[in-house]
Amino acid sequence: LTLQVTRTRFGRSYVPKECWNADPNTPASGFMKFPNEWFAFAVTRRTISGPGIAPASWTYTYAPPTSSWLQDCPTPTSCASTVWTDVTSPDGSRRRSLFSNKFDETENKLLREEDYSATNQLLRAKDYAYATVANGGSNPYPWPVQVGNDQQNRQNPQTAAQWAPVRQTVITQQGRTFTWQVPFSCGSGGTSACFDLYAHPTKIIKSSAP
């Protein structure tokens, strides 16, 4: 097994612009508490070879960084808030994974998977939705909005101290949809989210088109 890594630039969106150790008399001094871009080594090729095995390679391609500052994004749709990773198999088929890169409790979470044939035909898609609480909104779930205290104050506190479990997945394939979801049909009134205090589903509904 051989892995090839490449220095790659990544970005996140809707990041609060807060400067540390800035000198009020020196413009652009100090450093960002929460960076909106950074460089890291990312896998760009994975190759398997050996005795009796024909060499096979998978290539990895990453979306350009969709970085932004919160002050420049006045509405939830003002700035791009997703990135993707493509993995191309030896036979030419490809899976695209779409992730959130928004500075909230969904950052880095998988939002959608798309499987393509070697001729670039979309064969299957899977969408993910999460149990999240809007900033400042009411909490419809049985666990507290904040479940811990992050001692590292230079990382996203929402991903470290908030739960956001999968609430629904929808698979679309060959003209049909297949849904897995945690309903809002529990509790004494039959309208509460069917999760327990630890964000585990207590009831699941699976359905599909006829």
Assess contact for 92 and 115: CB atoms under 8 A.
no
pLDDT of residue 136: 61
Q: What is the pLDDT of residues 123-146, one digit of tens each?
A: 999 999 999 987 667 899 999 988
> Could you report the per-residue pLDDT of 75-94, keeping only the tens digit for each?
989 999 999 999 999 999 99
The single-letter code of the amino acid at 8 is T
| 205-208 and 176-181 strand pairing | antiparallel
pLDDT at 14 (0 to 100): 96
Grade residue 155 by pLDDT with cuts at 50, 70 and 90: confident
Instruction: For residue 86, report the phi and psi dihedrals to the nearest 5 degrees.
Output: -105, 135
Q: What is the pLDDT of residue 20?
A: 80
Contact status, residue 142 vs residue 196, Cβ threshold 8 Å: yes
Secondary structure class of 49 (helix, strand, coil): strand
Percent of the chain at pLDDT > 90 equals 78
Whether the per-residue pLDDT at 210 is higher than 70: the answer is yes
Q: What is the pLDDT of residues 26-50, one digit of tens each?
A: 766 778 889 999 999 999 999 999 9
* Distance (Å, whole) CA 27 – CA 157: 28
Q: pTM (2 decimals)?
A: 0.89
Evaluate whether 186 touches 65 at the Cβ level (below 8 Å): no
What's the mean per-residue pLDDT of the chain? 92
Average the pLDDT over 170-189 and give the result: 95
- Terminal alpha carbon distance of the chain: 44
